[in-house]
Amino acid sequence: MERIDIHPTHAYKDFKLRRGRPFPFGVTLVPGGVNFSIFSSHAKSCTLVLFRKRASEPMIEIPFPDEFRIGNVFSLIVFDLDYENVEYGYRMDGPFNPKAGHWFDNSKILMDPYAKIVGGRDVWGVTPDWNNVYQHRARIAFDDFDWENDRPLEIPPEDQIIYEMHVRSFTRHPSANVKHPGTFAAIREKIPYLKELGINCVELMPVYEFDEFENNRPNPVTGERLLNYWGYSTVGFFAPKAGYAATGKLGMQMDEFKALVKTLHRNGIEVILDVVFNHTAEGNEYGNTISFRGLDNQTYYMLTPDGYYFNFSGCGNTLNCNNPIVRSVVLDCLRYWASEYHIDGFRFDLASILGRDPWGAPLANPPLLEILAFDPILAKCKLIAEAWDAGGLYQVGSFPAFGRWAEWNGRYRDAIRKFLKGEIGMVGDMAQRLQGSPDLYASAARGPTTSVNFITCHDGFTLADLVAYNEKHNESNCENNQDGTNDNYSWNCGWEGPTDEPGIKTLRQRQMKNAVAMLMVSQGVPMILMGDEMGRTQNGNNNTYCHDNELNWLDWTLSKSNADIFRFFKHCITFRKAHPVLRNKHHFRNVDYVGSGYADITWHGTQAWNADWSHFSRIFAFMLCGKHAKEGTVQDNYIYVGMNMHWETHWFNIPGLPEEMKWHVFANTGANPPEDIWQSGTEPVLENQYGLLVGERSVIILVGK
């Protein structure tokens, strides 16, 4: 039987209409037409504005009849719409009174916050028509992708190895040699590389629609245009960045991104999105009106009592995340990406903001974080917090976790960096970091995988720069070198920047190897930064957010010139995967609870069994008992890691193994390639089973089997 709701009841000029359904919000294809639904707590009336695709003037403006509003939601169905070729927006009428938080202005055409595709920046870097009245143009999407038997992979967090990348930077360099440089499609072409490296998760820097032209300005020296390149400034929370898709010009970015996720999944690689819910691209009082400001400013933004924007994000405004309405938008958004795009997890930029109340005060039990932690659709998604914000809230170790949330461990990063450069007073700290930071997490019953361990990420130096620069060199950002952090804990190994001095070059190579060796034997979830595996440099710039050039683009020829580094990374990753004792779900107990004669973890130094915990120590070692792997449920080899961050060579006595076993050398960063590392499983027997020399600033990893 035919339903009667496929027939129009109203008409406006040439368009046939019917009362819409308020739920779901956004746009839904219904039989014979398109359902539009939008809410505003303070608007008096609303008009739907329809454009032909890319047209400068609207083709029709349809005021919502009064009776089509239910509560604060305006909804209507437009019949017989050529929905593939239209763009839509809204005009909202209401008070303009910034002191009271209201910015209604019916001369503005507003983008639907629930827009699934956003046009207007279809091809990366093409200068927009600034005269167009509607810059970021909501479009109507097909959400009928054929996933076949795909589903998020649900890799246990302790088995994850994350690779943080920027979509465009990964393949934009000519040396990437791909058909569509800088796109989702190109990442798909590079999957064999990711598999060879051995990572099993890519964390994509923001892929929500953003405007690379936001705040664009010329570099006064070179004339080159500086962009919002990284994209930490969201325009459309439900829309993938068109400029990252080879098919963005055809409006098929949704399919292209889904095809990438599906293929990555087929290859055993998860996808985590870096999501920016702390602020929007609308900036402060002087920013553009794109969507939220004109729809319901007072609801969406944290405002001072005088109606100004709070700026906990450092980017002009702060999304009012613990307002119940905004909370729902965030939840809808994440549910959408998890279900519609099969996304495996989310990393929340400046997540501490999500725990502030509408007046900015940190909440003890933030409802938004709780809702996300217990949501049934997000139940298997990884939730990772960048547990600080630009307003001074630093919550590493204390982020409200609800048994779910992991954290970017900033303390891990800082401790490894300081130890690596030879700072004193770090040995005790290091012991905690290598165990998955139980000092931060165990008391709250949070396991080692709470800690996402990283030494470098997009913010700050690359690994190669960490060992080549003492100071940041951000002049090309044209902010007088004032931007970017000063707390780099880096050491240039004797010369600032590039050098031909062989001793310095060798030391830098060794320091990079030391870093990745420590990372891959740490309990927790390791994360590496795109390109570190081939020694990518940013010439000392520690905040390259605005550069669409070689400072950010990965130069693939480095994989040849730094083949030793790549090989070292690759073998370290394989080693981690081969040894469950490195990937525990629960914290060590520092006792023997399986009767092996060894505690799960034991501490050593130049003398076996006697670690030097004193303030001036730069040396320490630990051993993992293979019989305690995964709480004694699986059998693994014994692993010994000796770290000498002193500038002199030292003899390390090593602990004896059970009788039938022998120590084998897996890695020795002090040795020259190819003897610096061995393919896991092919390690040669250690000559002297009682000890070995560990070179200056070197790490050795032994396997007892």
CA distance 18 to 7: 8
Cβ of residue 52: shortest distance to another protein, in angstroms?
12
Among 244, 212, 243, which Cα is nearest to 228's? 212
243 binds another protein (CB under 8 A): no
SS (H, E, C) 103-129: ECCCCCCECCCCCCEEECCCCCCCCCC
Return the DSSP state at 656: P
Question: Which one of 80-88, 199-207, 366-374, 377-385 is the stretch in contact with another protein (CB under 8 A)?
Answer: 80-88
Q: Site map for another protein, 133-152, x if CB under 8 A?
A: ---------x-xxx------
Nearer to another protein, 22 or 251 (CB): 251
Nearer to another protein, 258 or 579 (CB): 258
CA distance 372 to 368: 6
84 binds another protein (CB under 8 A): yes
636 binds another protein (CB under 8 A): no
Among 334, 328, 350, which Cα is nearest to 73's? 328
CA dihedral 308, 309, 312, 316 (to 10 degrees): -120
Q: Site map for another protein, 102-121, x if CB under 8 A?
A: --------------------
Cβ of residue 187: shortest distance to another protein, in angstroms?
11
Is residue 408 classed as helix, strand or coil in its secondary structure?
strand
Question: Which one of 76-84, 450-458, 543-551, 676-684 is the stretch in contact with another protein (CB under 8 A)?
Answer: 76-84
Residues 6+ apart with CB under 8 A from 213: 121, 127, 128, 227, 228
User: Which residues share a beta bridge with 356?
Assistant: 362
Nearer to another protein, 261 or 384 (CB): 261
Taking CB atoms within 8 Å and a gap of at least 24, the contacts of 366-372 are 366/322, 366/400, 367/322, 367/324, 367/327, 368/321, 368/322, 368/327, 368/330, 368/331, 369/400, 369/402, 369/405, 370/400, 370/402, 371/327, 371/331, 372/330, 372/331, 372/334, 372/404
Nearer to another protein, 81 or 351 (CB): 81
Q: Where are the beta strands (DSSP E) in 15-144?
A: 15-19, 26-30, 33-39, 45-52, 60-63, 69-70, 73-79, 86-93, 96-97, 102-103, 117-119, 137-139
258 binds another protein (CB under 8 A): yes
CB 287 within 8 A of CB 301: no
- Indicate which single residue of 50, 115, 153, 246 sits in contact with another protein (rule: CB under 8 A): 246
Q: Where are the beta strands (DSSP E) in 110-199?
A: 117-119, 137-139, 162-165
Nearer to another protein, 189 or 592 (CB): 189
Question: Which one of 177-185, 232-240, 318-326, 415-423 is the stretch in contact with another protein (CB under 8 A)?
Answer: 177-185
251 binds another protein (CB under 8 A): yes
Nearer to another protein, 186 or 406 (CB): 186
SS (H, E, C) 254-266: HHHHHHHHHHHHH
Return the DSSP state at 348: E
Strands 33-39 vs 26-30: parallel, antiparallel or unpaired: antiparallel
Cβ of residue 249: shortest distance to another protein, in angstroms?
10
Cβ of residue 86: shortest distance to another protein, in angstroms?
10
Query: What is the phi/psi pair of residue 521, to 5°?
Result: -105, 10
Kindly name the residue from 349, 389, 459, 532 that is annotated as catalytic. Answer: 349
Cβ of residue 318: shortest distance to another protein, in angstroms?
36
- Indicate which single residue of 87, 164, 209, 256 sits in contact with another protein (rule: CB under 8 A): 256
Nearer to another protein, 158 or 256 (CB): 256
Nearer to another protein, 100 or 259 (CB): 259
Nearer to another protein, 183 or 278 (CB): 183
Kindly name the residue from 212, 256, 386, 600 that is annotated as catalytic. Answer: 386
Q: Contacts with another protein in 550-609 (CB under 8 A)?
A: none
CA distance 108 to 516: 51
Chain centroid to CA 168: how far?
14
CB 408 within 8 A of CB 452: yes
190 binds another protein (CB under 8 A): no
Cβ of residue 229: shortest distance to another protein, in angstroms?
23
Question: Which one of 55-63, 82-90, 498-506, 657-665 is the stretch in contact with another protein (CB under 8 A)?
Answer: 82-90
H or E element, residue 564: helix 563-578
Residues 6+ apart with CB under 8 A from 660: none
171 binds another protein (CB under 8 A): no
User: Which residues share a beta bridge with 693?
Assistant: 651
Question: Which one of 77-85, 271-279, 563-571, 653-661 is the stretch in contact with another protein (CB under 8 A)?
Answer: 77-85
Nearer to another protein, 168 or 664 (CB): 168
CB 204 within 8 A of CB 457: no
263 binds another protein (CB under 8 A): yes
The reply to whether 501 belongs to the active site is no
Cβ of residue 247: shortest distance to another protein, in angstroms?
6
The reply to whether 386 belongs to the active site is yes
- Indicate which single residue of 155, 191, 259, 599 sits in contact with another protein (rule: CB under 8 A): 259
182 binds another protein (CB under 8 A): no
Tell me the number of residues near another protein by CB under 8 A: 26
83 binds another protein (CB under 8 A): yes
Cβ of residue 21: shortest distance to another protein, in angstroms?
23
Strands 650-653 vs 691-694: parallel, antiparallel or unpaired: antiparallel
Query: What is the phi/psi pair of residue 463, to 5°?
Result: -65, -40
- Residues in contact with another protein by the rule CB under 8 A: 82-85, 142, 144-146, 179-180, 183-185, 188, 245-247, 250-252, 255-256, 258-259, 262-263
Which residues are annotated as catalytic? 349, 386
